[in-house]
Amino acid sequence: MDRKLFGKGFGFNSGGSGSGGGSLVNPITTTVPYLPGIPLGTNYPAGTSLEQIFDDLLAPYVVPAMSGLGITFNPNDSFFECGHTVDIISAAWSVTLDSLGNPPQNMSLAGDGFNVPVTGTSQAASGGATTVLNTPGAKTFTLSGEDINLNPIASASYSKSWRWRFAFGGVNNADPVGDATASALVLDMQQYQLLASKVATFICTADNDTPGNYTWIAYPASFGALSNIIQNGALPVLTAFTYIGSWNVTNTYGQIVSYRFYKSNSDAAFANGVSLAIS
């Protein structure tokens, strides 16, 4: 073995008959970074067997891993509307043992309802834990841990987003004359999606084809003006709508945001089953 790999003072006892190999006479510390399974600066005390050193060199230590972090909420929807306070129920994840059969060490879970050391593959949230965002954004939960040498390993994370409502429907409401009537109109629309942009597709129902009902589109003004509406994947129908105006809308959870409103130019404008791709 090249002594330059370990520095000065390298030597070993050859071992007696049947001993299975030699051992170090003096402690050694690696001084080069290119040993496959032995990190730079690793210290082997006197008495370490050469078998152990070769095991480390030829079968490198593989760190444990954490993955698949998920958080369960109540309700457990894909997205939440801004201002909606939800219950945090529990967290679960998967672990992969290291090459010596050890799980991740000193795991901890950070985020609303947790911020605690954890073990195993699950953790209940603290009693009565809730979380909320009043404006669009995400809450992130992070699972961290270490290997047996107390070096940090790759963390696992999970995020849940809050968004504004994009509303669509066929209703016979009068045009808004202020924030209160605009808010009521948004809540009266039969369909909505929680979106981060004005790109959406809705399928018309009988409400859109009822005499006296106009098809309305309403969404946060920050998304910008509509640029296109395509009916059934082929026919542009943006000109079948008129921009009515913008008003401050108060949602179900008491949060206020400016909305843009569009109204079809005629009632009963779209048959049941018609697809409208909005952008």
DSSP string of 54-99? HHHHHS-----EEEEEEEEEES--SEEETT--EEEEEEEEEEE--T
Collect all residues with Cβ–Cβ distance below 8 Å to 93 and sequence separation of at least 6.
66, 67, 68, 69, 70, 121, 122, 143, 156
- 247, 260 in Cβ contact below 8 A? no
For the cut 80, the answer to whether the pLDDT of residue 88 exceeds it is yes
User: What's the CA gap between 42 and 165, in Å, rounded?
Assistant: 56
Q: Where is average pLDDT lowest: 4-18, 19-33, 171-185, 251-265?
A: 4-18
- Per-residue model confidence (pLDDT) at position 18: 46
- Per-residue model confidence (pLDDT) at position 36: 62
User: What's the CA gap between 239 and 265, in Å, rounded?
Assistant: 8
- Per-residue model confidence (pLDDT) at position 197: 97
User: What's the CA gap between 160 and 193, in Å, rounded?
Assistant: 16
- Per-residue model confidence (pLDDT) at position 56: 76
* Torsion over CA: 125, 126, 127, 131 (sign): negative
Over the chain, what is the mean pLDDT?
91
Residues 19-48: pLDDT tens digits? 456 888 888 887 766 566 676 778 889 888
Please give the residue that has the higher pLDDT: either 2 or 229: 229
For the cut 90, the answer to whether the pLDDT of residue 230 exceeds it is yes
- Per-residue model confidence (pLDDT) at position 8: 47
What is the three-class DSSP state of 239?
A: helix
> What mean pLDDT do residues 120-145 have?
97
Q: Are strands 43-44 and 105-110 parallel, antiparallel or unpaired?
A: unpaired
- Per-residue model confidence (pLDDT) at position 100: 81
- Per-residue model confidence (pLDDT) at position 22: 80
| Best CA proximity match to 149, nearest among 88, 101, 105 | 105
- 260, 218 in Cβ contact below 8 A? yes
pLDDT band at 84 (very low <50, low <70, confident <90, very high): very high
> What mean pLDDT do residues 208-226 have?
98
Percent of the chain with pLDDT over 70: 90
How many CB atoms lie under 10 A from the CB of residue 94?
12
For the cut 50, the answer to whether the pLDDT of residue 71 exceeds it is yes
Cβ-based burial of 90 (10 A; exposed 0-12, middle 13-18, buried ≥19):
middle
For the cut 50, the answer to whether the pLDDT of residue 76 exceeds it is yes
pTM: 0.81
For the cut 90, the answer to whether the pLDDT of residue 119 exceeds it is yes
